[in-house]
Amino acid sequence: MTEERIVAAARQIMETSGLDSVTMRRVATELGVTAMALYHHVADKHALVAMVADQVMDVIPDESLGGVSWYEALRHGFLAVHREIARYPGLGLYISSTNSFYPSGYRKLKKTIQMLVDAGFDEHEAIEINYVLLAYQGGYFLTEQSAQRSSAMPITDEQAEGPPEIRSRAVMNSYDSFIRGLDIVIAGFRAKLAAKQVLLG
């Protein structure tokens, strides 16, 4: 029994059944051991999920300018993070709610901040940009989970008479909607930097 095997089993359960299905007992069953055996390697479920989150973040390649603009690299990086985390139902909201960075996520944060500073933002602005984007991403995962829980609720008469975009929860919660919102937010940062550069001459 190793920590790597425990994390791999928890990650597989999370990918197929969601975060709520990850328990020490179920992970132990998947590995063919007792739940008590896991506690020699992992303190509790919270620690186990944190290890899964760190591993998931670690498989996402780091972004660099690499011949593209800072905003293209920023967009590509956040979409890559979003796509990977979205594979594990419940993990995105968990990461957002813990209000902390895992080692792999912190390394990516530092590199992104440096990229933004190199582009012309000061360090405070670069940190603020990251937190705004993380808040946007966390809000999306919260909306996604809320939509899943309310999907069985009937549409009201008022909603039924509204535009198709309002009638369809799927549209409100689609990946395309996430991308459109991300583009709007990043466009705001581009405009802010352009205005700053004009003022600085």
What's residue 197's pLDDT?
87
Closest CA to 6 of 22, 28, 21: 28
Tokens of 34: 């007792």
Shared-domain flag, residues 7 and 54: yes
Domain count within the chain: 2
> Residue 131 is part of which domain span?
61-200
The first and second tokens of residue 46, run together, are 């919270």
**Nearest Cα to 49, choosing from 83, 112, 92?**
92
Query: What CA–CA distance (Å, rounded) separates 103 from 47?
Result: 13
Spatial separation of the C-alpha atoms in residues 178 and 83, rounded to whole Å: 11
Which residue, of 59, 75, 98, is where some domain finishes? 59
pLDDT in tens, 13-52: 999 999 999 999 999 999 999 999 999 999 999 999 999 9
**What count of other Cβ atoms lies within 10 Å of the Cβ of residue 200?**
7
pLDDT of residue 183: 96
Tell me the average pLDDT across 78-93: 89
Same domain, yes or no: 116 and 177: yes
Least confident of 80-89, 107-116, 163-172, 181-190: 163-172
Sequence length of the chain is 201
Residue 193 belongs to domain with CATH number: 1.10.357.10
